[in-house]
Amino acid sequence: MTITGVAYGPISSYSRVRILHLVQERPERTIGELCDATGLHANTVREHLHRLIEGGYVIQTTEHRTVRGRPRTLYSAATGAPEASSPIAREKVAGAARRGDVMRSILSEPASDLGREATHQLDALVEHLEESGFEPIVDERRMTVDLTPCPHAASAPEHRPLLCQVHLGLMQGVLAQAGGPIAAECVQAARRPEECTVQLTVAGQLRIVA
């Protein structure tokens, strides 16, 4: 099932979103577990996982066995932690920082007042969101990311909570992979389906709410 409003990217189908949610929820899932949870055929699950690995959203490891038998392949979300870091995600973050530095140099724009690490975190976050079909607007004073109009606004209402949770998890992973003081806290409650604002936090700072 293709997600309405998103025509491209590794998260362009709801089945893929479900698989990503499962590995975000608990790491080291097997193909069999993902098949049982989604009702999808093993070949379909493998194809979805392949796309998610290519996007830098999932990593695969080999099971360490203490008994005889072929070790299984295990799948986890790429969270940016040392034990769950995707080489593709690392390159995306590094590339975003390089491109951001070049653009700031060309436009004579300063880095974020939050510091160099935070600037590069925001570079990576904006590129990730644009790749996912969003048009992010970052407000560094309020520490929010406005994603209105949300490309998932036309999705089935029952799918929206899972979509929001998965995308928040992806944002948290990108920020963690980039390394720095900024974290994604939550998706704010919205009055209209097309509204979407993500609340960020900065370590050691109080949030500005007005």
Each domain of the chain, given as residue ranges in start order, spans: 14-202
Q: Is the pLDDT of residue 2 over 70?
A: no
Q: What share of the chain is helix, strand, coil (3-state, %, to 5)?
A: 45, 15, 40
What pLDDT shows up at residue 6? 44
What is the rounded CA–CA span in Å between residue 130 and residue 61?
Answer: 29
Residue 95 CB coordination number (10 Å): 13
Residue 87 CB coordination number (10 Å): 10
Q: Is the pLDDT of residue 204 over 90?
A: no
190 vs 182, which has greater pLDDT?
A: 182
Contacts of 143 (CB under 8 A, 6+ apart): 182, 199, 200, 201, 202, 207, 208
Q: Is the pLDDT of residue 87 over 50?
A: yes
What pLDDT shows up at residue 206? 53
What pLDDT shows up at residue 116? 93
What is the rounded CA–CA span in Å between residue 121 and residue 90?
Answer: 12
CATH topology (fold) of 14-202: Arc Repressor Mutant, subunit A (1.10.10)
Contacts of 147 (CB under 8 A, 6+ apart): 129, 134, 135, 136, 196, 197, 198
153 vs 75, which has greater pLDDT?
A: 75
What is the rounded CA–CA span in Å between residue 34 and residue 187?
Answer: 26
3 state SS of 132: coil
Q: 197-202 and 144-146 as β-strands: parallel, antiparallel, unpaired?
A: antiparallel
Q: Could you give the angle at the alpha carbon of 96 between the alpha carbons of 90 and 97, nearest 5°?
A: 95
155 confidence band (pLDDT: 50, 70, 90): confident
27 confidence band (pLDDT: 50, 70, 90): very high
pLDDT, tens only, 35-47? 999 999 999 999 9
7 confidence band (pLDDT: 50, 70, 90): very low
Ranges 66-70, 87-91, 139-143, 198-202: which has the least confidence:
66-70
Half-sphere exposure of 105 (CA within 13 A, CB side): 6
Residue pair 161/107 in contact (Cβ under 8 Å)? The answer is: no
Q: Is the pLDDT of residue 140 over 60?
A: yes
Ranges 126-130, 139-143, 153-157, 163-167: which has the least confidence:
153-157
Average pLDDT estimate for 109-115 = 85
What pLDDT shows up at residue 4? 45
Q: Is the pLDDT of residue 79 over 90?
A: yes
Provide the sign of the torsion angle of the four alpha carbons 183, 186, 190, 194, taken in this order: positive
